[in-house]
Amino acid sequence: MKKTNINALWAATALAGVLVLSGCHSSKSKSASSAYPAGSTGAAQTAGTGSAMGGQQQVIVPLYEEKVTIGKHEVDAGGIRIRKQVNTQTLNQPLELRQETLTVERLPAEPQGASGQQAAAAPQAGQIGTPFQAGEIVIRLQKEEPLVARQMTESGRIVAQKHSSTKQVTVKENVRREQADVAKVGNPEGVTIPQDLQSAEAVGGTPATGGVETGAGSSGQITDLNQFAHAKDKTALAGRQVRLSNARVDQVLGDRMLIVGDESAQAVVQTKEPLQNIQPGDQINVSGQVHPFTPNSSAVELMQSQKVYVEAPRVEKAGK
């Protein structure tokens, strides 16, 4: 009986231990799940933002650009074909030809001489004048005929000579270059972004420094003057950020306005600060934003041809 009571006591003690452990485990699970309420994205955002660094102190994003090597090679530029043909023409040359003719007549007999006999020429050998003797005679006639003799002579020459000359050409080729934009996510503190890397858009927060508005018109950055030249409607470029490198100054229109590019692609740049030692032909860097010309703008000719201009705080010579 005593042994039975001991076994019952051991069983009760074991059951109590199991219940205690089960309750602790349930409490810990509930506490862990309550750290992120249902529907919260805090865990996903933490994992997403932390995966970029991966526990490292820096992230390296390589940028690439294309280099173009200009060379030359020979190609077929056409030529000529020299072909000799034989033509026949009729030559008309007057010529006088001599021809013998023969006339045969029968004449009456010669009168008789004083002796009463007929005078007759003495027959010659080969003639048929012998009385009562058969014979024949052949009389040949002569005539002249044209005689053509051919002789080849040189009538002229065809000479083909090749000459080499040089000309100066300009090879125009588009090359690709990667650039990076850095935008703040939200309103973080302690984040320093260089001006040349600042994006026009701020993700998930207030507009970026300077109050740049974002939208369909400001999507994408203009880094090539050809984007102005190829735009069907230049006014649609208004609001877009511009960053031009090594742009050539074509004209200086005052102390705050100039034209960069060439006849194929140009852009008007207006600066907030006066230009400092900028001359036509200089290479400059431009960072700013596209704006449309206002109807009351004094630059009427530029407004009609360009439609828009780039407003920049200032411009700097390339290489500084």
pLDDT > 90? residue 154: yes
* Residue 110 confidence (pLDDT): 81
pLDDT in tens, 235-258: 888 889 999 988 999 989 888 888
pLDDT > 70? residue 300: no
What are the contacts of 84-90 at 24+ separation with CB within 8 A?
none
Mean pLDDT, residues 43-65: 65
Determine which of 166-170, 196-200, 299-303 has the lowest per-residue pLDDT on average: 299-303
| CATH topology for the 220-317 domain | OB fold (Dihydrolipoamide Acetyltransferase, E2P) (2.40.50)
Q: Are 107 and 100 in contact (CB under 8 A)?
A: no
* Residue 235 confidence (pLDDT): 86
* Residue 128 confidence (pLDDT): 77
**DSSP H helices in the chain:** 2-33, 42-53, 226-229, 300-306
Cβ neighbours of 315 (radius 10 Å) = 24
**Which band of pLDDT confidence, cut at 50, 70 and 90, is reported for residue 305?**
confident
112: its two tokens: 């008789």
User: What is the pTM (predicted TM-score) of this model?
Assistant: 0.33
Is the model more confident about 249 or about 10? 249
**Which band of pLDDT confidence, cut at 50, 70 and 90, is reported for residue 208?**
very low
Mean pLDDT, residues 100-108: 93
Determine which of 65-74, 217-226, 283-292, 299-308 has the lowest per-residue pLDDT on average: 299-308
Question: Phi first, then psi: what are they for 53, rounded to 5°?
Answer: -80, -35
Using alpha carbons, list the distances in angstroms from residue 92 to 15, 96, 154, 164. 144, 13, 21, 48
pLDDT > 80? residue 102: yes
Cβ burial 191-222 (10 Å sphere, 16+ → b, else e): eeeeeeebbbbbeeeeebeeebebeeebeeeb
* Residue 302 confidence (pLDDT): 65
* Residue 295 confidence (pLDDT): 60
Cβ burial 88-105 (10 Å sphere, 16+ → b, else e): eeeeeeeeeeeeeeeeee
Let me know how many helices (H) and strands (E) the chain has, helices first.
4, 6
* Strand 315-317 versus strand 283-292 pairing type: antiparallel
CA angle 248, 252, 255 (to 5 degrees): 125
Percent over 90 (pLDDT), the chain = 32
**Which band of pLDDT confidence, cut at 50, 70 and 90, is reported for residue 18?**
very low
pLDDT > 70? residue 68: yes
CA atoms of 267 and 230, how far apart (whole Å):
12
CA atoms within 13 A on the CB side of 269: 32
Q: Are 200 and 182 in contact (CB under 8 A)?
A: no
Mean pLDDT, residues 218-246: 85
Determine which of 31-40, 94-103, 185-194, 256-265 has the lowest per-residue pLDDT on average: 31-40
* Residue 233 confidence (pLDDT): 85
Per-residue three-class SS string for 33-91: HCCCCCCCCHHHHHHHHHHHHCCCCCCCCCCCECCCCCCCCCCCCCCCCCCCCCCCCCC
Q: Which candidate, 64, 97, 82, 312, places its Cα nearest to that of 210?
A: 312
Q: Which candidate, 137, 80, 65, places its Cα nearest to that of 104?
A: 137
Using alpha carbons, list the distances in angstroms from residue 86 to 83, 89, 287. 10, 10, 75
pLDDT in tens, 82-98: 999 999 999 899 999 99
Average of per-residue pLDDT values in the chain? 75
In the chain, what are the domain boundaries? Answer: 220-317
Residue whose structure tokens are 């018109």: 217
pLDDT in tens, 112-123: 655 555 555 555
**Which band of pLDDT confidence, cut at 50, 70 and 90, is reported for residue 164?**
very high
Percent over 70 (pLDDT), the chain = 68
Determine which of 55-59, 195-199, 281-285 has the lowest per-residue pLDDT on average: 195-199
Mean pLDDT, residues 19-40: 41
